[in-house]
Structure 1
Amino acid sequence: MINTQLDTTLERYQAAIKSLDSSNIEVEQILGVFHARDAVQLALKEPKHIPSSSLNKLILSDAELRKKAEAITKVIQAETWENWRESIHPAAEAWWWRLESIAPHPWDNWDWLWKILSLASWATNISFLVNIATRFLSGGGVGFIGVAAVAVPSILTLLQASSETTKFGEEGFTKLFDKKIPILGKKIPKQYHQETKLGLNLLTSGFLISFWFCLPEISHLYNRNGLDNFDKGNFGSAEQDYQRAISLNADNTDAHYNLGNLYEEWQQIDKAKQEYQIAIGGDSAEPYNNLGRLYIKDKKYPEAAALLTQGLNFTKNPDFKKPEIKYSLFKNLGWVRLQQARYDEAILHLKTAIDISEKPENSKYIPNSGVAHCLMAQVLEKQKAPSTQALSSWKKCVDLGSITNPDEDGWLYLAHQKLHKK
């Protein structure tokens, strides 16, 4: 039996489509087409036999409407489609009321490029994440800053990668974009989905690159925290902070120097030397002084003298404001010359060190200047100077020395013996 109602609605539908002039389409014509298609859909639900010829007409008409989708979407704004659907409440299968999702958009022609750039972007993000996470982990633990820096970008990057490589991820992002964005107050149009994904990838890349460039500053932060822990006697925490600072920035010479200082405190001399040797690459005199002193103990006098002389070059800078380092460099250089039997040079350097320590403004920086006097006493005895001069230096060695200094322990014992004998 022929479905007369379906044929009638199909004819109206075909006529409405033909009335669409691609060069001058009006909104009323588009609504007429949609209304006619609604009538066809309603007629299809009638419990009657539908001839194959009628179905073929419908299929061809729908194909014709889809061809005109691009021209129609140029007339109807994205917000208008949403308003229409809110007013009509079309059924889920009424695809013609969602024609803008079918019509190709000029921006869609570039989706292949945006997709390639998105893939390249999230691959770059993963590389940065691996690099950053490895640095934090190699420093003895991620820590709060590391968790914050790695976890959030990792989740975003994985979600973005999933949206490009899996159907589930792509559908998830599509559902997300189909919701109104609170900031924008509207949905993101379908033609801009790929561009939005790229934008999110690039934002994540920007964050990771910025964070990566901030690693040296974060390294200094850990180094300062290590100094605080060292001053409080929390040596284990200090070591972890220094190691983390170095893992974030291998060229942080301050952290290498401070770690060497800690190892020397623990009498791990070989480790201390290694850290001091790396720290020498910086612009500080301290590692030259400390490494030079350790070389003196190893009887590597020429190497020690070279290091101490290089360290003194930093003190020639008018901005150098560390009298305790300058004192220590001259004192250690005097020690080297004593061991090399170059007594005149030894006296010159030790006298300079003593003069620095005796300046009133330097007293708070150099509370213990006994070492220089202990060395001076030994040099005077080697030179066969009058005994009163040597005794005076031995006395100052005792008065100003400290038994807690491992370098002075033996000299203080010797000074007491000398004074007791006289």
Structure 2
Amino acid sequence: MLNKVIQLYEEELAVLEKSTKVSEEQILRVLTQRDRVHKFLRDTSDISEHILIKLFFLDTRLKKQANKINQQIQLADWRASLEVPTTFWWWFLQDENHRLDQFDWLWNALTIASLTASVSLVVDISTRFLSGGTSLISSFAIISQSVLTLLTAGGVLTQAGRIGVEKLLLSVGIKTDLWQETKLGISALLLFSLIIFKVSLPKIAEKYNQQALIDYETQNWDNAISNYQKSINLDADNAKAHRQLGLIYEQLQDLDKAQSEYRLAAQGNLLIAYSDLARLYLLQNKPAEAVSLLYVVQTQAKADQKLTVEDNFLLYNLHKNLGWARFQQQRYAEAQEELEKAIAFHKKLPSVNNYKKNGAAYCLLAQVFENLKNLEKANIQWELCIANGNNRLPEVDGWKAIARQRLKLGAR
């Protein structure tokens, strides 16, 4: 009877060996037939050497099928369902060692390192989004990145996750000796996607900048501040957002916060922020401090013929503030020279978007001419001050009031 059982074992094994794509039923028939062989071996006392040698040979052939079997099914699940004893070695078939398996420890270490880095990035990105308040964009970013990271980490680090991932790898035909490398690839891909996402945060921040600018132009201060702060949370080096926040705080007459934001913008090497800071010093009648800041702008600003709107705006403010500083220092000839340069750049500026003409240079030049006792030229500049002056700047609003008084007195 033992001969018959071994013969059936050999036949099932031969079917398994010849099959290019084995089924679970084929595997189960081989293993259960080996169970029967074991049962007859245990119950039979006198077994010939010939039968034993044949069995040894068949078992060697079965062990060579370990890779094929493990690629198709999870023996661990079957063992758990059947409560297979550990002595039944054929239920514990291990894949033959592949030459790459000696590096599995390295792949596992790199996988854990990649997942650790991914978790750190998710925490950092989530903190940046949440610190500025939640929105549809921030909620989607946090949830999507967190779910991907948790799924990847669970698939690699937890037993249930590993079983699920390995089943998936089997279903797509990935060999078991490449599983560790594949898991590393998945974790590395996740890490790469998170790095790309973090690198793109400044672009997302720019979207908030654009919305904040619309809010600023419509004087929706609360929304503008909120959007600029979100932008800064996503891009800490966002000098433009800091500068715009400074402008808003100026409108709200919170000059301490405005100065703080201008300083942060200046640290980002935004030259216009130096000019904004200088203007605050001039409002406090501190021309020496203003000139020190304006010197930074003067040494770095463009002076060629190919100037952009931003360049013209910067140079206008540079010369206007230098003229203002020289006026406060009673250096009227120098003030006149700087203010006339400012007016030349002022004429090149559009009257839309971020570059509204404020007319401050005309108002200042009028005051310079008054101190030079040239009232005719002063009145001309006072008229231009009224025509071009932007009341959004408090000093310009005050100067326009003076202009109306001067021109009214001159008409008498």
TM-score range, shorter chain: 0.7 to 0.9
2:154 to 149, 162, 166: 162
Task: Note if contact 2:108-2:184 (Cα within 8 Å) is conserved in structure 1.
Answer: yes
Report the counterpart of residue 332 of structure 1 in structure 2: 321
Residue deviations 1:29-61 (CA, integer Å, cap 9, x gap): xxx999887656568999xxx737599x99999
SS state at 1:280 partner? helix
User: Could you tell me whether the CA contact under 8 Å between 2:349 and 2:357 is conserved in 1?
Assistant: no
What is aligned with 1:342? 331
Q: Normalised by the size of structure 1, how large is the TM-score? A: 0.75
User: Does 2:387 match 1:421?
Assistant: no
Decide which of 114, 129, 137 is 2:107's aligned counterpart. 114
Match of 1:321 in 2: 308
For structure 1, the residue ranges without an aligned partner over 5 or more in a row are 83-91, 181-185
User: Aligned residue for 1:151?
Assistant: 143
Provide closer, same or farther for how the CA distance between residues 304 and 63 of structure 1 changes in structure 2, counting only shifts above 3 A.
farther
Q: 2:340 aligns with which of 351, 355, 359?
A: 351
Taking the aligned partners of 2:123 and 2:314, their CA distance within structure 1 comes to: 41
Letter in 1 for 2:124: N
Query: Which residue identity lines up with residue 150 of structure 1 in the other structure?
Result: I
Contact kept? 1:253, 1:279, Cα under 8 Å? yes
Structure 2: gaps spanning 5 or more residues = 20-25, 74-80
1:389 paired residue number: 377
Give how far 1:201 is off: 0.6
**Secondary structure of the residue that 1:251 maps to in structure 2?**
coil
Structure 1 position 304, deviation (Å) = 0.8
- Deviation for aligned residue 1:204: 0.4
Do the aligned partners of residues 331 and 144 (structure 1) sit closer, same or farther apart at CA in structure 2, a change above 3 Å counting? same
Identity of aligned residues (%): 32
Letter in 2 for 1:379: V
What is the letter of the counterpart of residue 280 of structure 1? Answer: A
Residue 309 (str. 1) matches residue 295 (str. 2)? yes
How much has 1:399 moved relative to structure 2?
A: 4.0
- The secondary structure found in structure 2 opposite 1:188 is coil
Pick closer, same or farther for the CA change 1:108–1:99 going to 2, 3 Å: farther
Instruction: Give, as a single letter, the amino acid of the residue that structure 1 aligns with 2:377.
Output: Q
Q: What is the rounded CA distance, in whole Å, between the counterparts of 2:267 and 2:261 in structure 1?
A: 11
CA shift at 1:282, angstroms? 4.1
Corresponding residue for 1:134? 127
**How far does residue 263 in structure 1 lie from its aligned partner after superposition?**
1.8
Deviations 1:208-244 (A, max 9, x none): 1122222233323332232233234433232222112
Distance 1:101 1:342, change over 3 A: farther
Q: Which residue, out of 380, 393, 406, partners 1:405?
A: 393
What is the RMSD of the two structures over their aligned residues, measured on CA atoms? Answer: 4.3
Cα deviation digits, residues 251-272 of structure 1 (max 9, x gap)? 1211211221222222221111
Tell me the distance in 2 between the aligned counterparts of 1:130 and 1:417: 61
Letter in 2 for 1:161: A
**Which letter maps to 1:292?**
A
1:33 to 1:317, Cα distance in 2 relative to 1, 3 A? closer
Quick check: 1:287 aligned with 2:273? yes
SS of 2:301's equivalent in the other structure is helix
Give the distance between the partners of 1:136 and 1:62, measured in 2 at CA. Answer: 66
Aligned to 2:23: none
Decide whether the 8 Å contact of 1:73 with 1:100 is kept in 2. Answer: no
* Correspondence for 2:190 among 204, 207, 220: 204
Q: Does the 8 A contact of 1:153 with 1:204 survive in 2?
A: no
Kept in 2, the 8 Å contact 1:253–1:282? The answer is yes
Amino acid aligned to 1:236:
D
Determine whether 1:194 maps to 2:164. Answer: no
Q: Hey, what's the Cα distance between the residues in 2 that align with 1:325 and 1:163?
A: 55
Alpha-carbon offset, residue 68 of structure 1? 4.5
- Check conservation: 2:104, 2:180, Cα contact below 8 A: yes
1:73 offset after TM fit, Å? 5.2
